[in-house]
Amino acid sequence: MIPISYLVLVFLFGSVVSYLITKANRIVGAIFNFLLTFYALFVLWNLEIGHTEKLFSILEGVENTFKVSSLGKYFSIISLIVISLVSFFIIEWIRKKPSRPAAFNAFVLIMSAGIIGVFFSNDLLTLYIFWEIAVLGSFLIVPMGKEDSKKAAVIYVVTSAIGSYMYLFATFSIYNKYGILEFDQVSRFLLNEPSNLFKWFIILFIASAGIAKSGIFPLHTWLRITHGNAPDAFSAILSGQLVKMGSYVLAISLSVFPSTKLLASFYSGVPLLNYILIWLGNISIIIGTFMAIRQNDMKQLIAYSSVANGGYILVGLGVMNSIGYAGGLFHVFNHAIAAAMIFLSFAAVVYRTGTTKIDEMGGLIWKMPWTFVTYLVGIISLAGIPPTSGFISKWMIFNALLTKGMFVTLTITFIGSVGSFLYVFRPLAGVFLGQLKKKHYEVKEVSPVMLIPMLVLTLLTLFIGVYPKPVLDFIVSIENSLGIKPIEYSGTIIKTSLGQWDTLTVFTMFAVGFIIALVLYIIFPRGKKVELTDQYTGGEYLFNYDLYHYATGFYRFLERLYDKHPSFEKLYGMLVSFFKSMGEIINELFYKVSPSGYVFWISIVILILFWVRW
């Protein structure tokens, strides 16, 4: 078993190898990528908790190390599952899609190297370094997408930089004050820290990197444009994995630095700081849900849903009791898998049809049934409906909020939950169901190479939904290592103070219900299969059945209610143009003026200087 640091190096050098191989043959390059990421998954799976490796030392007094923690292992395995399966998908997808396949493959590996490093870093600085490597790798891939993707890449990297520089600032404040950066030492020092202000500052600034990355309000605006415009298969990694890096940092700032022990309780055991973060999560849920309902671009729709789900994770983590924290962590898994499934099925659709606009498609279920199945299970999990795994985490979060009596947050999570039924149904109805467009008569199902990863994810979601023990085992070990009371479960029964439920019984009962329905269906006479064009039309004769598909403005009656919503994207746009015009003014005043103007400025400077000095 090779050490993690070598694994990271293998990825970094592997990126060069991958570049060269892909130059020769892009499919072989993609296969190489898949094998490497799958091997990494295998290595990470077998890691022992507590395994430590020395790396280097940049600041004196700080030994930069890797250490395998339960939390890091959990996140890294989720990430590598997503990345390796998406890499498998890419084997076929790369034949047609990205403009620069060699660079694409190389950057995927650079990004993966950074990701592995992030999850095993034992101190704040190592985490920052690998974090930026991951950002760099992913930033370079984003502009290979649609036309807006160039702008998207800049927005992505700038938002990410805002978060990570706040993080860096906090890191150096810690280093300056305590002279150490290891997580457990920092949390020990923080426990003895008398100044509340400093604790607030540290936790908030560390968390802000996670806020930026996981698309939490007020730094959520990059998700729409980036997820929506990135290369299609890469969106699956962006939403399924990279966003989870943000959740990881949030988990660190809230639980590894034990926020509930550091700060006084504000409302039923939740400190005010956590409460503020929970409220950021709440706002994200609201924004994500209602904006997702409005979108006509399916990738942007799910991008907004990522905002909402990032909010769920933050709410769960923020509550910081046994069940809420477990719910947050479980939701990380669920959303990673579900988002990967959904984006992969979209990638398959785009691969065949070349569009992401919902109302330009329809009836693709008749041509791409397996893609449809992936999407269906993906949205069932995303919307948190049993018997998929998505429900388990939502149930945990609801329970946690209910036991704490946080009714407003509970309301908002309900809105997010019911709202998710609405927005996931929009692509389902618009893209897969309804009338098939004439131009899509020739569309075929994607090849098995693309289907296999999608179906593997589907089965994984269903399996964890019925038998959540593997994930729960991880969560229990994480909660044990962080000193949180672990959640209780036995077999498939999960227990909370509010009662219990049995995933297996629910699934069995669902199967029984389905069989009853099936039996009824079979014993009664068969229906006659008619074409979709054979419809009730109110007596009209239709010439163009393309138009007989309800997809444009699917929820227009609801959208109307909040058409005039305030937009943070616009606000930030205004901020940017404010900075730009400031720059323009400065430029006009100081840099573009004629020589006589300079003489004027020199005299001003001299006057100021003399005035200051005397």
Partner 1 sequence: MSALLIAVPLLIAFLFVPLKNKIKYILPFVALFSLILILKLPIEQVNFLGGWKAPFGITLVLDNSSYYSLIVVNIIFFLLSLIPQIIEKDLSLIFLILMASINGLILTGDLFNSFVFLEITSVAAYILSSSKRNYYGAFKYLILGSIAGAFYLLGTLYSYIGTGSLNLADISKNINSEFLAVVPILIFIGLAVETKIFPLAGWVPDVYASGSALTPAILATGVTFSMMYLFGRIFITVFHGEFLNVVYIFGLITVVVAELSALKQDNLLRALSFSSIAQAGLFLSVISMNSYESLTAGYFHLLNDITAKFVLFIIAASIGKSFIKNKTTGIAFSIASFSLIGFPLFAGFRSKLLILKTAFLNQNYILPIILLFATIIEIAYVLRWNIKLWYPDNILPQEKEKTQKLSWNVNLILLIVALVIIVIGFYPDIYLKIAQNIASGLTNYRAYVTNVLGGM
Partner 2 sequence: MMTIIRVAAVLLTGFFVGLTLEGVSRKIIARIQRRYGPPWYQNFIDVFKALSKNGITHGWIFDFGILMALGGVIATLAFVPLGDLVAFPGLDNLFIIVYLFAVGALGMAMGMVGSGNPNSSIGVARALTQMLGYEIPYMISVSAVMYYYKTASVSELMLSQQDSWTLLKMPLGGIVAFISLLGMLGKKPFDTPIAPAEIASGPMVELSAKYMGLLMLMHTFSIFVEIGLFVDIFLGISNYWTFLIKFTVIWILATLISSVLPRFRIEQVVKFYWKVPLGLAFLQALFVLLGWVF
Q: Tell me how far, at minimum, the Cβ of 418 lies from partner 2, in Å.
A: 5
Of the candidates 335, 294, 341, 339, the residue with the CA atom closest to the CA atom of residue 315 = 335
Check binding of 514 to partner 1 (CB under 8 A): no
Task: Select the span of 140-148, 210-218, 316-324, 533-541 touching partner 1 (CB under 8 A).
Answer: 140-148
CA distances from 403 to 388, 499, 559, 579 (A): 24, 11, 34, 46
* DSSP line for 533-561: TS---TTPPPS-GGGS---TTTTHHHHGG
Does position 507 interact with partner 1 (CB under 8 A)? The reply is no
Phi, psi of 271 (to 5 degrees): -65, 160
How far out from the chain centre does Cα 466 lie? 24
Residues 49-78 that bind partner 1 (CB under 8 A): 58-59
User: If contact means CB under 5 to 8 A according to the sort of partner, which of partner 2, partner 1, none does residue 555 touch?
Assistant: partner 2
Segment contacting partner 1 by CB under 8 A, of 157-165, 213-221, 429-437, 537-545: 157-165
Report H helices in 214-269.
221-229, 232-237, 243-251, 259-262
- Per the DSSP assignment, residues forming a β-bridge with 458 are none
What does 411 bind: partner 1, partner 2, none (CB cut-off 5 to 8 Å by kind)?
partner 2
512 binds partner 2 (CB under 8 A): yes
Please answer whether residues 389 and 465 qualify as being in contact, where contact means their C-beta atoms are separated by less than 8 angstroms.
Answer: yes
Establish if 587 lies at the interface with partner 1 (CB under 8 A).
yes
Phi-psi region of 252 (alpha: psi -120 to 50; beta: other; left: phi over 0): alpha
- Does the footprint of partner 1 cover residue 610 (CB under 8 A)? yes
CA distances from 343 to 90, 294, 316, 353, 422 (A): 13, 18, 24, 15, 18
- Tokens, residue 237: 């990694």
Nearer to partner 2, 98 or 416 (CB): 416
Note whether 555 binds partner 2 by CB under 8 A. Answer: yes
Chosen from partner 1, partner 2, none, partner binding at 343 (C-beta under 5 to 8 Å by type): none
**Residue 499 within binding range of partner 2, rule CB under 8 A:** yes
| Least Cβ distance, residue 165 to partner 1 (angstroms) | 4
If the CB atoms of residues 298 and 433 are measured against partner 2, the closer one turns out to be 433
Rounded distance between C-alpha atoms, residue 251 and residue 116, angstroms = 17
541 binds partner 2 (CB under 8 A): no
Sequence-distant (6+) residues with CB within 8 A of 143 are: 149, 150, 152, 153
Restricted to residues 322-351, the positions that interact with partner 1 (CB under 8 A) are: none
Identity of the residue, 473 or 584, whose beta carbon is nearer to partner 1 in the bound complex: 584
CB of 417 to partner 1, least distance (A): 36
Instruction: Tell me whether residue 161 or residue 276 sits nearer to partner 1 (CB atom).
Output: 161
Q: How many CB atoms lie within 10 A of CB 345?
A: 32
What x/- string results for residues 389 through 418 when contact with partner 2 is judged by CB under 8 A?
A: --x--xx--xx--xx-x-xx-xx--xx--x
Rounding to the nearest 10 degrees, give the CA dihedral for residues 96, 102, 103, 105: 80
> Contact residues for partner 1 (CB under 8 A)?
58-59, 99, 128-130, 132-133, 136, 139, 143-144, 147, 150, 153-154, 157-158, 161-162, 165-166, 168-169, 172-173, 175-176, 579-584, 586-587, 589-595, 597-599, 601-602, 604-606, 609-610, 612-614
